[in-house]
Amino acid sequence: MNKLTNVMRLEFYSMKSQFKLLIAALFVLLPLFLVIGNSPQIIMLILTFTVFLIDTTYQLIKQYNFDKLYASLPLKKKDIIFGKYIYALSLLLIVALITLIVSLITASIFKGNLNSKEIIFLVFIGIFIDLFILSLQLPLYFKFNFAKSQIITVAPFFIIFAIATPVLTYIQENTKLFSKIPELMNYINNNPIQSGLIMMAIGLTIFALSYFVSKKVYKS
C-alpha cells in the first residue's frame, strides 16, 4: 500500500499545475455549456479533457526525466505501472462523479433538455471512451522514450478511426446486422443506465487488459 501511495503522490504533484484548468472546466465551462449552449456533449468533452491532462503530464515526466524520481524510491516496475493505472482510473472516476453531480444540479435548476437518466448515460459513455483511449495510450507511454511517446496524444484517435471505418462499412453491407441497429438503439433509449453500466464494464475490462500489456512492454 505504501508503494502505491508513493507512486500516486508523485503523479499528483506532477499534475498539480494542471488542476486549475480542470477545476475551471468542471465548475465554469460545464454548467455554462449545459445552460447557454445547450450542448450535452460537453459532459463527454470534460472527461476527455481529463485524459488530455493525464497525457500532457506523462509527456512532461518523460521530457524532463522525472522518471528518475521513481528510481529514488524502493519501487519495482510492477509498482510503478500499477500506481499509474490506479491514479489515472481514480482521477477519471473522481472527475466523472463531479461531472455527474454538477450536471444533475445544473439540469435541475435550469430545467434543460436532459433528464437525470440521460446525464448518467452520457457520463458512462464518457468514462467508456476515456478508458478506451487510456488503454491504448498507456502501453505506448511505457514502451517508448519521449520523442516516440509524443504520438500518444494522436495515435489512439487514428486507431479508433481505422477500426471504426471498416466496422461501420461491414455493418452497413451486412443487412441482417444492420437491421439490428434500431433494436439496439431502442434498448439503449429504454435502458440508458443499464446500457451505460455495460459499456463501463467493457471499458474497465479493456483497461485491465491494457495494464497487463504495459507490464510486458515497459521500458525502465
Q: Which residues contact 161 (CB under 8 A, 6 or more apart)?
A: none
Residues in the chain: 220
Report the pLDDT value the prediction gives residue 102, as an integer from 0 to 100.
87
Report the pLDDT value the prediction gives residue 173, as an integer from 0 to 100.
61
Report the pLDDT value the prediction gives residue 179, as an integer from 0 to 100.
57
pLDDT band at 58 (very low <50, low <70, confident <90, very high): confident
Q: Is the pLDDT of residue 146 over 60?
A: no
Mean pLDDT (the chain) is 76
- Any idea which of 36-40, 78-82, 202-206 has the lowest mean pLDDT? 36-40
The owner of cell 443506465 is 193
Report the pLDDT value the prediction gives residue 111, as an integer from 0 to 100.
72
Per-residue 3-state assignment (H helix, E strand, C coil) for 14-50: HHHHHHHHHHHHHHHHHHHHHHHHCCCCHHHHHHHHH
Mean pLDDT of the 54-75 span: 67
The structural domains of the chain, with segments of one domain joined by +, span 2-152+193-217
**pLDDT 10s digits, 4-44:** 776 777 777 667 767 777 787 777 777 777 776 556 677 77
User: Does residue 216 or residue 36 have the better pLDDT?
Assistant: 216
pTM listed for this prediction: 0.78
N-term to C-term CA, the chain: 21
User: Does residue 103 or residue 5 have the better pLDDT?
Assistant: 103
Mean pLDDT of the 58-69 span: 66
- Any idea which of 53-57, 163-167, 191-195, 210-214 has the lowest mean pLDDT? 163-167
Q: How far is CA 203 from the centre of its chain?
A: 9
Q: Are 70 and 10 in contact (CB under 8 A)?
A: yes
In angstroms, rounded to a whole number, what is the distance separating the alpha carbons of residues 154 and 149?
A: 10
Written as one letter, the residue type at 96 is A
Mean pLDDT of the 128-153 span: 75
